[in-house]
Amino acid sequence: MESDVLVVDDSAAIRKILQRVLRQTGMAIGNIFEAGDGKEALALLGQQKVSLVMTDINMPNMDGLQLLAAMKGAPDLSTIPVVMVTTEGGEAKVGEAVRLGAAGYVRKPFSADQIKEKLAGFLPGTTPS
């Protein structure tokens, strides 16, 4: 069974790279949806059911932490794992992501192997690394 994934980043370059990397992992991934900020992501999540959200933290309009908080507060979205993909390595932001319920954290720059390792266990049919 294939899983749909939502990639949220204000950088079209990163969205494109993540699309490519996700396809390279060999995981059973179906549609990969894209959003440029948290607001776009929430609007899309109202229309599409996904198995995983990968989001940047620093974005205009609504950042990744605000998106995470909004998802955890919405009964129909709260169980979707959210993996933060960001340059932010500061304890303050990482700690906030943990407190809000982030499922994982990938620091930019990332390799395909790092993405695959971090996503293992979050998609149906995969096991934690």
Partner 1 sequence: MNLKDDLVRSFSHAVEELFSTMLGAKVVPGEVTVEHQAPDAHDGVISIIGLAGSWAGTGCVTCSPTVACRFCSQMLMTESTSVNEEVLDAIAELTNIVIGSVKNDLERELGPLGLSIPTVIYGRNFKTKSAAHAEWYARRFHWDDDVFEVRVCLTPSDRSATLQPHVFGSASLAD
24 binds partner 1 (CB under 8 A): no
129 binds partner 1 (CB under 8 A): yes
DSSP 96-126: HHHHHT--EEEESS--HHHHHHHHTTTSTT-
127 binds partner 1 (CB under 8 A): no
CB of 92 to partner 1, least distance (A): 5
d(CA 115, CA 24): 10
11 binds partner 1 (CB under 8 A): yes
Strand locations in the chain (E): 3-8, 29-35, 52-55, 82-86, 104-107
Place of tokens 């998106």: 67
28 binds partner 1 (CB under 8 A): no
Q: Which is nearer to partner 1, 48 or 111 (CB)?
A: 111
Contact (Cβ atoms closer than 8 angstroms) between residue 54 and residue 30 = no
Place of tokens 């930019």: 108
Q: Of 39-78, which residues contact partner 1 (CB under 8 A)?
A: 58-60
Task: Kindly determine how many residues on this chain lie close enough to bind partner 1 according to the rule CB under 8 A.
Answer: 35
Chosen residue from 53, 68, 102, 115 binding partner 1 by CB under 8 A: 102
Q: Which is nearer to partner 1, 78 or 87 (CB)?
A: 87
Q: CA 119: distance to chain centroid?
A: 10
Q: Which residues bind to partner 1, rule: CB under 8 A? A: 10-14, 16-17, 20, 58-60, 84, 86-92, 94-95, 97-99, 102-105, 108-111, 117-118, 129
